[in-house]
Chain A
Amino acid sequence: CLENTDPRMRGRGIQLLSQVLLQCYSLLQEKEVLHLVLFYENRLQDHHLVIPSVLQGLRALSMCEVLSPGLAVSVLKAIFQEVHVQSLLQLDRHTVYSIIINFMGSREEELKGLGADFTFGFIQMMDGEKDPRNLLVAFQIVRDLIAKNYTLGPFVEELFEVTSCYFPIDFTPPPNDPHGIQREDLILSLRAVLASTPQFAEFLLPLLIEKMDSDLQSAKLDSLQTLTACCAIYGQKELQEFLPSLWSSLRREVFQTASEKVEAECLAALHALSACLSRSVLSSDTEDLLDSFLSSILQDCRHHLCEPDMKLVWPSAKLLQAAAGASLRAYYRVTRIVLPLLLEQYTKHPQSSQRRTILEMLLGFLELQQKWGLVEEDESTLLSLRASVCSVVFSALTDPSVQLQLIGIRALTVLGSLQGFLSHSDLELVADHLIRLTLHEDSQSSEAAMEAAASLAPIYPKVFSGHMVPRLEEELQSVSSSEREEESSHDHCSLRQRCLQALAAVSTHTSIVKETVPVLLQHLRKLQKGSEAGTIQGMVSVCQSLHRVALQCQQDDDGCWYYHQTVVPCLLAMAVQAAMQESAHPLLGKALIEEEVLTAMVPVISAATTHLSPELAAQSVSHVVPLFLDGEVSFLPQNSFPCSFQPFEDGDCFDTQRRLVALLMAFVCSLPCKVAIPQQERLLRELLALSCSCNCPFTATTAAKCFAGLVNKHPAGQQLDEILQLAVNRMEPSLAEGPRRMQALTLLLWVTKALVLRYHPLSSHLTDKLLGLLSDVELGPVAADGFSLLMADSPDVLHKGCHADVRIMFRQRFFTTNVPKLVQGFHGAGPDVKANYLKGLSHVLNHLPKPVLVTELPTLLSLLLEALSCSDCVVQLSTLSCLQPLLLEAPQIMSLHVDTLVTKFLSLTSSPTMAVRIAALRCAHALTSLPATVLLPYKARVIRALAKPLDDKKRLVRKEAVAARGEW
């Protein structure tokens, strides 16, 4: 067959042989390989129909480890000589490239022996290649030629030509391309070649300069990014000749472009150029190009800095900052001119808006200094200008313009972060300014000043604890004492609020925390004793501040334990005290145990507990659990109470004590997993009983959540099964009938959530129970809303932060098992309860990750469309918010239903509920992402219909209508 006279037959023979070799090349002996190579080399001269199979065989042989020395070179020479690669089919060309890749991997030294002939052979071979798949391989070969130091000889320019002719890459993958080669793959692969050697510089840089001026934005971007990549390996020798043109191109683009992307890439390229010049090692007789390069930038940009109202001021500042940010040397060179100039301009321009621009530019340069820290050197212009910089920044802080103040505050933060820049007296002045801004200025400035204090406090803890904290404490006391003088109580509230926020903000260092926490707790005690209006709001504010401090302490073991030990017993003691006073004198209302305040304490105690070490947490739990189970109050700071604390006892007089279960929940559900809870089974039983029997919804819900939080972390096993069985036994009869159905449903929801999160087998039984309740006329709507509770992250218990057992895919899993049941239930349900199923479904869908939703869409779409006609506005709203992203992400599928969608969306734009109108308009807006041909028949109708919401009585609706109609 191999000798058959018909070339087709010969071809088939060789094909068979080659296929065999591809399977077994690793088993061949050296001698066999030799024979085969000689045979195949010889066959390269055969008829062109045979060549593809010959190349396959050679590819198999190129993978043989036992190939004798010299054979690789001989194969390549034969291919170079006998095969005109570019007249082969794509696949066969690919085979040739693969042979080369294989040899380059295994016979590097041998191939190098060929010298520049190898390079030349390859250049001829790839010249004219058009297929993106082959180009990726060819580029890889060129990259290896250069990276592994193959001899390029006289062929550098040819090698550059044969690759750079593809630059800039202009390739759009065909639709439904199975090979998945993206334009970006080719761009990066070619860039890796072009930017791989300084030898290409003299050819490449003129090309890049030319393409930067292209009308195509993609060509501009590619040129700029390639330039940036080149700077990583070039030196000043390569750049020298082209610097003036490069600078003028970059300047032109930054001054003229409307595109932020182009601007950003230009700045990155300038940064890279400046870095490259900064890095180059100079011999004694060469000029320092960095200096002259920066001089020309300064020359072209500095005068624009003096015109803060003109368009070019910012482009100029950004160019200078990009160049200056490349090295300390460049920074000194630029700031030596620019910093004095900006300070002078600040004084020359009295208007706040101009000063704002100038200071903002100055800030940019200060931020660059942060990168290197402050170096005590003669060259540092910033140090020599310290007095004037400080006076400019301080003057901005007292300017009436809030915008200027804000920049001043940021500048202050940067100056403070430069260790040693501000003197001690400067720092006291800084603290004074920050206190003033925090308490008395505009809310934006106040917030910014607090954040500045927060970031400076850990650097200068003494200044802040010694200076700022006492001032805030004074202010806080004067606010509460002057409250009786009938002044505007609103101002007082906001001033108190700011003091409290500022105290929390500066608590960023343990030594400061030890000052601020007692002040906050003292203020809470004071509020408890007083009886003014606004007490509840004040207490909530204190708790919010305490919460922030707790979060800031978490990373520091010492601070965390101090905080826990100080705050948790104190809050518990105050709450117990208040609850008992109320038991004794029910008429004396106590703000501290109002639901609102207790709710605000929950995150405080939780955040104080989650990061405790297991040993310390165990110590704490041994006090807190006996307090609730046995009224063991001895560990509380003020422990003489009028009566006993028995939150789990029956009897109306303990109603208020029971509410404190919220605090128990905050603590016990936030403990690290390893911490054993004493008397856990008894605690669970008490919580279960409370959640089922208590008439107060707050207490019952809290007990249910606490029970769920513990059950979620409870180790699997018999004990858990028993307690769960107990819970089911209590729940089921109460759910069926009686006065406490709602409590039972709440318990069911929370326990289901606890078990769904950890994939507990009982969860499906409980979920089915819940699904069954959707058809209940009384409980159905609540059960439907419960699906939102199951799917959403809960803020206080059962989330990752409090160490709950949460499996990452629980939502998808829940979706897969339960959505078919919801759909089935919907179809079987009576008309009065159908909406419950839709509501439950839309809650599940709303919490599902969008990519999952898009893939599941086709099966659910008809149901969702039906849900749009449901009169319940919660269902409408959540269905619309499901559909909106789908319109954007799955336009093909949605196009099939365009008629229904248009009709329903338009009719919902006149819903009585504002939120529904807004959502419907957003969907109408999103419709425009469907293909134009699909939309065209509806265009006139939609535009006409959208005229009506333009006259909606609500501005927010009009805004959406304008956007949607404009797009149509």
Chain B
Amino acid sequence: GPGGGAPLENANPLIYRRSGERPVTAQEEDDDLPDAIDDREIFDLIRSINDPEHPLTLEELNVVEQVRVKVNDAESTVAVEFTPTIPHCSMATLIGLSIKVKLIRSLPERFKLDVHITPGTHASEHAVNKQLADKERVAAALENSHLLEVVNQCLSART
């Protein structure tokens, strides 16, 4: 986070309210009934990821929204669109990578993941999407210990 006192580029961003914890239903407490993996469950996995710059979550900055999460449990596919706060945001790849890593760690292996920028919201949309879709590059990025540390920081719980 910002420690020394260097001002942030966008110090007063628009913020959005966090959705509360998902209420536990009677069905969820019933041992016998299966609960399908749904959009909200995926959204809950990624909404609390910290923004690399602001002391805010991706949900509070509206970078991720539940309507931009699509899951098909039967076909094992997940698609997430994310929207950088500004079209030139240099952190877009890092944010995409954090979302992807969180999903890789949290979802069963059968799922095919697609994480990309909401169309028309970023200057280098195509390039970023290509990087995020490239399995080898994602794997290589995660070998980089510095990058991994930054990603883990985004994924850690706020203190």
A interface residues, Cβ below 8 angstroms from B = 213, 215, 252, 255-259, 304, 307, 309-312, 353, 913-915, 947, 950-951, 953-956, 958, 962, 965-966
Known contacts A310-B15, A353-B17; A966 and B31 CB within 8 A of each other: no
Known contacts A914-B31, A955-B28; A309 and B15 CB within 8 A of each other: yes
Q: Is the CB of B14 within 8 A of A954?
A: no
Q: Kindly state whether residue B90 has any CB partner on chain A within 8 Å.
A: no
Q: Is the CB of B107 within 8 A of A950?
A: yes
Known contacts A256-B2, A258-B1, A966-B105; A955 and B41 CB within 8 A of each other: yes
A256 to B7, CA, bound (A): 8
Residue of A215, A255, A966 near B3 (CB, 8 A) is A215
Q: Is the CB of A310 within 8 A of B106?
A: no
Contacts of B17 in A (CB 8 A): 353
Known contacts A256-B8, A257-B55; A310 and B13 CB within 8 A of each other: yes
Q: Is the CB of B35 within 8 A of A953?
A: yes
Contacts of A213 in B (CB 8 A): 4-5
Contacts of A914 in B (CB 8 A): 31
Interface residues of B in 1-54 (CB under 8 A from A): 1-5, 7-8, 11-17, 24, 28-29, 31, 34-35, 37, 41, 45, 54
Contacts of A913 in B (CB 8 A): 31
A310 closest partner in B (C-beta): B12
Main secondary structure of the interface of B (DSSP, over half): loop
What are 15 A-B contacts defined by CB distance under 8 Å?
A215-B4, A256-B5, A257-B1, A258-B1, A259-B55, A311-B13, A951-B110, A953-B35, A954-B28, A954-B31, A954-B35, A955-B35, A966-B102, A966-B106, A966-B155
Q: Kindly state whether residue B144 has any CB partner on chain A within 8 Å.
A: no
Q: Is the CB of A953 within 8 A of B13?
A: no
Q: Kindly state whether residue B136 has any CB partner on chain A within 8 Å.
A: no
Q: Is the CB of B105 within 8 A of A255?
A: no
- Those 6 A-B pairs whose CB atoms lie nearest each other, nearest first: A258-B55, A951-B108, A953-B34, A955-B35, A215-B3, A962-B106
Q: Is the CB of A304 within 8 A of B159?
A: no
Q: Kindly state whether residue B158 has any CB partner on chain A within 8 Å.
A: yes
Tell me which of A312, A913, A955 has the highest count of chain B C-beta atoms within 10 A of its own C-beta: A955
Q: Is the CB of A311 within 8 A of B15?
A: yes
Residue of A258, A951, A965 near B105 (CB, 8 A) is A965
Q: Kindly state whether residue B148 has any CB partner on chain A within 8 Å.
A: no
Known contacts A259-B159, A311-B12; A947 and B31 CB within 8 A of each other: no
Residue of A256, A353, A915, A958 near B11 (CB, 8 A) is A256
A252 to B11, CA, bound (A): 11
Contacts of A255 in B (CB 8 A): 11
A259 to B155, CA, bound (A): 17
A240 CB → nearest B CB, Å: 24
Residue of B1, B5, B34, B109 near A947 (CB, 8 A) is B109
A312 to B41, CA, bound (A): 30
Q: Is the CB of A310 within 8 A of B110?
A: no
Known: A304-B12, A311-B13; 4 extra A-B contacts, CB below 8 A, are: A257-B1, A258-B1, A954-B34, A958-B41
A252 to B3, CA, bound (A): 11
A954 to B55, CA, bound (A): 33
A354 CB → nearest B CB, Å: 11
A23 to B2, CA, bound (A): 60
Contacts of A953 in B (CB 8 A): 34-35
B23 CB → nearest A CB, Å: 11
A573 to B118, CA, bound (A): 70
Could you tell me how many residues of chain B have their Cβ less than 8 Å away from some Cβ of chain A? 36
Q: Kindly state whether residue B56 has any CB partner on chain A within 8 Å.
A: yes
B69 CB → nearest A CB, Å: 15
Contacts of A311 in B (CB 8 A): 11-15, 54, 56
A127 to B15, CA, bound (A): 52
Known contacts A257-B55, A309-B14; A965 and B106 CB within 8 A of each other: yes
A599 CB → nearest B CB, Å: 22
Contacts of A309 in B (CB 8 A): 14-16
Tell me which of A311, A913, A947, A966 has the highest count of chain B C-beta atoms within 10 A of its own C-beta: A311
A310 to B54, CA, bound (A): 13
A256 CB → nearest B CB, Å: 5
Q: Is the CB of B45 within 8 A of A962?
A: yes
B108 CB → nearest A CB, Å: 4
B28 CB → nearest A CB, Å: 5
B97 CB → nearest A CB, Å: 16
B5 closest partner in A (C-beta): A213
Q: Is the CB of A252 within 8 A of B31?
A: no
Contacts of A950 in B (CB 8 A): 106-108
Contacts of A257 in B (CB 8 A): 1, 55
Contacts of B106 in A (CB 8 A): 950, 962, 965-966
A256 to B110, CA, bound (A): 41
Contacts of B56 in A (CB 8 A): 311
Chain B 139-159, CB-CB to A under 8 Å as 1, else 0, gives 000000000000000010011
B16 closest partner in A (C-beta): A309
Chain B 79-110, CB-CB to A under 8 Å as 1, else 0, gives 00000000000000000000000100111111
A951 CB → nearest B CB, Å: 4
B61 closest partner in A (C-beta): A311
A953 to B14, CA, bound (A): 38
Contacts of A947 in B (CB 8 A): 108-109
B21 CB → nearest A CB, Å: 10
A954 to B105, CA, bound (A): 18
Contacts of B29 in A (CB 8 A): 956
Q: Is the CB of B158 within 8 A of A258?
A: yes
B40 CB → nearest A CB, Å: 10
A950 CB → nearest B CB, Å: 5
Contacts of A955 in B (CB 8 A): 28, 35, 37, 41
A968 CB → nearest B CB, Å: 9
B148 CB → nearest A CB, Å: 14
A950 closest partner in B (C-beta): B108
B7 closest partner in A (C-beta): A256
A316 CB → nearest B CB, Å: 10
Contacts of A965 in B (CB 8 A): 105-106
B65 CB → nearest A CB, Å: 15
A914 to B28, CA, bound (A): 10
Contacts of B159 in A (CB 8 A): 259
Contacts of A259 in B (CB 8 A): 1, 55, 159
Contacts of B155 in A (CB 8 A): 966
B146 CB → nearest A CB, Å: 19
A617 to B91, CA, bound (A): 73
Contacts of B4 in A (CB 8 A): 213, 215
A711 CB → nearest B CB, Å: 39
A687 CB → nearest B CB, Å: 38
Contacts of B31 in A (CB 8 A): 913-915, 954
Q: Is the CB of A312 within 8 A of B34?
A: no
Contacts of B107 in A (CB 8 A): 950
Q: Is the CB of B12 within 8 A of A312?
A: yes
A962 to B106, CA, bound (A): 5
B50 CB → nearest A CB, Å: 8
A954 to B34, CA, bound (A): 6
A953 to B73, CA, bound (A): 11
Contacts of B41 in A (CB 8 A): 955, 958
A912 CB → nearest B CB, Å: 8
Contacts of A252 in B (CB 8 A): 5
A962 closest partner in B (C-beta): B106
Q: Is the CB of B14 within 8 A of A956?
A: no
Q: Is the CB of A958 within 8 A of B37?
A: yes
Contacts of A962 in B (CB 8 A): 45, 105-106
A651 to B1, CA, bound (A): 79
A309 to B159, CA, bound (A): 24
A256 to B11, CA, bound (A): 8
Tell me which of B13, B106, B109 has the highest count of chain A C-beta atoms within 10 A of its own C-beta: B106
Known contacts A255-B11, A311-B56, A966-B105; A956 and B24 CB within 8 A of each other: yes
A353 to B19, CA, bound (A): 13
B13 closest partner in A (C-beta): A311
Interface residues of B in 54-81 (CB under 8 A from A): 54-56
A208 to B22, CA, bound (A): 44
A312 to B14, CA, bound (A): 9
